[in-house]
Chain A
Amino acid sequence: MADADETSKQAERNTNVGDGIAVKKQDIARAKNEGKELTKDEKQRLRKEKKQQKKNKKDDKGESEHENVPLPPSQAVVQCQSQKAPSVAPSLALTPVSVCTSEKPAKSKAEQRAERRARQEADRAAKGKKGESAQQPPSGKSKAPPNELQPVVKRLPEHVQVDDPAAVRKLAKKLERQQIPVRSEYGYKVSLFSHLHQYSRKAPLTQQISIPSTVIHPYIVRLGLQYSQGIVAGSNARSIALLHAFQKVIQDYKTPPNEELSRDLVNKLKPYISYLNQCRPLSASMGNAIKYVKKEISNIPCLCKEEEAKKQLLSCIDNYIKEKITLAATTISAYAIEKISNGDVILVYGCSSLVNHILCDAFDKKRKFSVIVVDSRPRLEGREALRRLVKKGICCTYVLISAVSYILPEVSKVFLGAHALLANGYVMSRVGTSQIALVAKAYNVPVLVCCETYKFCERVQTDSFVSNELDDPDDLMVTRKGKIHLENWQDIRQLGLLNLVYDVTPPDFVDLVITDLGMIPCTSVPVVLRVKNVDQ
């Protein structure tokens, strides 16, 4: 017996595969002869062989995974069968085979994990078939892998994952089903933001659709083009334009026979929404508007005639715009004017339609104040805000964001607009807003954010990386004295241009949020959302 053990150990150490097999066959023969006592030893030997296998795996290098996959099932089968008393010998016979084949490849940890996963699945299948309880070691082994394999993390559908090929494929399939072309990515993306889309303005989506567009309503094509070229920019403008386009779609809609308007129209809108998303990622306000429209459409009673239903929908959309945007702006400016006193120096950033509206209203109500407009590249939206305020007659100063800490000692209040208010109280706004809020906090200047309630969104975000928008990197190229700087940025491999659009401001830096429901602290946003949901 000792001899047998020694020879078997030698066989294990022996890297010569052929000899190993020969020696093990001798062992098998001996095992058969010597009967039950050896089964325990054989089991020990099995375990040692497996350890050896693992060592060999680590020593060798470079095996492709697909070679592994057919292996583990065989190994799994081996393990299942190894517990059956009468089939010890065949198991021995099988293990040498698996040892030989496994000595060839070398596996990395990921590949080992994949093997274990596959093994585990095969185990489960085997258990199902045989239904045995004496599967302790394999089940013990298979318990270890599940701890490592967590079930796939459930992500909210709006999370963009461009660097995950499975997610990209899923999106491509969805777009193909809806007959919307896929817009191709452009340029090198900075690694922290490689999960976001980055498109070029010079490659519009209209290149890939037929010119008298038949799949997509012409108004939606026009809207998508205006979004991607920046002609319609700003949260409110985009929502109004979207609802206007939806009105046109509803006007031109004809219910096909055997279909219900309430269900078919929603299905009609889905490809349009995908198309607009491809042109430019949807804003939170647009998302809420779409939810509202879809809800209204679904609530149309079945017996309603088409004309009546259409009229009702059109008037619903008109009401939504009137209530949530126009009247909300009036209400907000009525609240905000209480906060503007004579002699104030108000700082605004970029071009927020709501903040401009508030300031123009305050000026109309004869308040005496002056404004400092802070602007930033590459959009330089502050110029437009400056134009509107100066046209009204307000005294304005214009600085770039690099001068913010210089002029802040002179500022009495900061008014900021918002793109969305997140459920944890963070304010999502144009990139640069959080900077201004930070510096204002350092100088103890009150920061007031103005935001309509329809921009409140249930998302939670604490940093600007997770969910953002990347604009065309070519916007950062500037022409000075006939020379285009950064002209060949694509040729420099280590250079990436980042043109972020949004950032989030923590609620610690925001003193007050002025909404159409009143003046609330930043942390009351979830309350408002809850109340809104209850109402609906």
Chain B
Amino acid sequence: MELQAVLMAAGGGSRMMELTYNTHKPLLPVGNKPLIWYPLNLLERVGFEEVIIITTKDVQKMLTPDRLKLDGKMKLDVVCIQLEGEMGTADALRHVQQKIKTDVLVLSCDLITDVALHEVVDLFRAHNASMAMLMSKLHEFTETVPGQKGKKKAGEQRDFVGVDATGQRLLFMANEADLEDGLTIRKSIMCKHPSMRIRTGLLDAHLYCLKRCVVDFLVENKNISSIRGELIPYLVRKQFSKSVNLPNNKDEVEMSQKMEGQTNLEILGSCKDEELLRLTQERSCWNDHHGDMSEAYHGGKVRCYVHIMEDGVCYRVNTLAAYIEANRMVSAPKLIEDPPIHPSAVISECTQVGADSIIGASCQISDKTSIKRSTVGASSTVREKVKITNSILMNGVTVEEGCNIQGSVICSNAVIGRNADIKYCLVGSSQRIEPDGDLKMSRDWPA
């Protein structure tokens, strides 16, 4: 087997508590499908037959194949972890270490993308890389976020990503939060790669291909708790650190392992390096860089690669703005093959349903309603003379006559009373909006 997929679905969705206080993040409906459906669909389309899903107990109950609406025969191996322990992604990976027998592809459950996955995996395969990841151009969110008054604060701090001249080798990665004094770049990096491009407008898709020895390294080093926060920057830095004098035979290796407390990643990596591979590289007339005296990859054993998507869909649904944007984009035909209007929905003739709206199963849309650029969840009821624009209605929502809903997010099982006028609001789960209510830019959920 070549690659095993691990899906991280234990995150709490801390940046969109308004939506996740009632529904767990992996099960949030986006385009009337649970959020976790999108990465699972990506894996299935590409040809994976088994996925290991790490999640909490509550979510595990809901992850049955028919609820997930997966068409294929992908086998889901769900592993539960306790949420109280504040487990990071690296801790979770360590937890399933026994199941991992080959190189691993780690995904996050909030990734919605249509990337050609072979681009990332090809970098990983061709260059025998320790890590390959996916990044995408950051899209600005233009929709007004309900409940957020005033301009959006630059809450997310920027990532500085340095790539080499080909745009594939990852040379430098740091978050603005860690760079208090300024951006420092080691001389060794500049010597080896004199031409480096530093980009800031990139979104990390949290999709990583990791070598097996990296997972083993994680097991040995228990102080690393987050893949994105700690492991990846460590690997990127390790590419250029001074290499330890590699011992020649196995006995020396074991001795040096005992001497050092931590197992060095390079020693782990180099033992696997074979004589024939070295011979091949020696005889091959290829070099990844030109102009200096060193061999291919500068003799480094740890290599990190990144594939930067210039166009295409790539969202990480971890904030409210991203959630709304994802709902809009998901009606693009590439991601969902189902028709936007579910066949079991009952829509009467005098309604206007826009082409970019998604209507869920068993919905009832009555006369003289107009639904534009919106998503209506399953089993929702919309009565007469309702106007819904740019909004997201989750499952089981009831909208009484004469309402006007604009740019809002209505969570599941809410009831909007008649003639209510709701603009840019966020209505929590099972809330009830009084008839003739007039809400603008407010959030309504139980305190």
Contacts and interface: CB of A to CB of B under 8 A. Distances in A.
B46 interface: yes
A54 interface: no
B125 A225 contact: yes
Interface stretch (B113-121, B156-164, B200-208, B352-360): B113-121
A211 B47 contact: yes
Nearest to B118: A206
Q: Which 6 residue pairs of A and B lie closest in terms of their CB atoms, listed nearest first?
A: A210-B47, A351-B285, A218-B2, A237-B284, A237-B283, A244-B276
B4 interface: yes
A207 B3 CA distance: 16
A74 B24 CA distance: 79
A237 B280 contact: yes
Contacts of B285: 233-234, 237, 350-351, 353, 381, 384-385
Contact of A241 (B4, B125, B280): B280
Contacts of B47: 209-212, 214
Interface of B: 1-5, 46-49, 116-118, 121-122, 125-128, 274, 276-277, 279-287, 290, 293
12 contacts: A206-B121, A211-B46, A212-B3, A214-B49, A218-B125, A231-B127, A237-B284, A240-B276, A240-B280, A241-B280, A353-B282, A381-B285
B429 to A, nearest CB: 38
Contacts of A241: 276, 280, 284
Interface residues of A, number: 39
Contacts of B46: 210-211
A212 B4 contact: yes
A213 B2 contact: yes
B48 A212 contact: yes
A321 interface: yes
A177 B285 CA distance: 35
Contacts, number: 99
Interface in A97-140: none
B283 A244 contact: no
A335 B15 CA distance: 72
A221 B279 contact: no
Interface in A336-379: 350-351, 353
Contacts of B5: 212
Contacts of B287: 383-384, 387
Given A212-B49, A326-B279, 11 more contacts: A211-B48, A212-B48, A214-B49, A231-B127, A240-B276, A244-B277, A244-B280, A350-B285, A351-B285, A381-B285, A387-B293
A230 B48 contact: no
Interface of A: 204, 206-207, 209-214, 218, 221-222, 225-226, 229-234, 236-237, 240-241, 243-244, 247, 321, 326, 350-351, 353, 381, 383-385, 387, 390-391
A326 B279 CA distance: 10
Contacts of B118: 204, 206-207, 211
A501 to B, nearest CB: 13
Contacts of A350: 285
A232 B279 contact: no
Contacts of A211: 2-3, 46-48, 117-118, 121
B251 to A, nearest CB: 23
B303 to A, nearest CB: 12
Given A204-B118, A212-B47, A244 B284 contact: no
A177 B118 CA distance: 24
Contacts of B48: 210-212
Contacts of A233: 284-286
Given A204-B122, A211-B121, A240-B279, A234 B293 contact: no
Contact of B126 (A218, A226, A391): A226
B50 to A, nearest CB: 9
Nearest to B209: A211
B2 A225 contact: no
A385 B285 CA distance: 8
A232 B276 CA distance: 13
Nearest to B117: A211
Nearest to B43: A211
Contacts of A222: 125-126, 128
- Most A C-beta atoms less than 10 A away, residue of B5, B121, B282, B285: B285
A306 to B, nearest CB: 20
Nearest to A207: B118
Contacts of B281: 237
Nearest to A234: B285
Contacts of B283: 234, 236-237, 240, 353
A381 to B, nearest CB: 5
A385 B117 CA distance: 35
A249 to B, nearest CB: 13
A231 B283 CA distance: 11
Given A212-B1, A212-B47, A321-B276, A232 B284 contact: yes
B193 to A, nearest CB: 17
A225 B121 CA distance: 11
Contacts of A390: 293
Contacts of B4: 212
A30 B48 CA distance: 83
Contacts of A218: 1-2, 125
A225 B119 CA distance: 11
A350 B286 CA distance: 12
A222 B121 CA distance: 10
A210 B44 CA distance: 10
A330 B204 CA distance: 50
A396 to B, nearest CB: 13
A417 B93 CA distance: 50
B330 to A, nearest CB: 23
A326 B280 CA distance: 12
Contacts of A244: 274, 276-277, 280
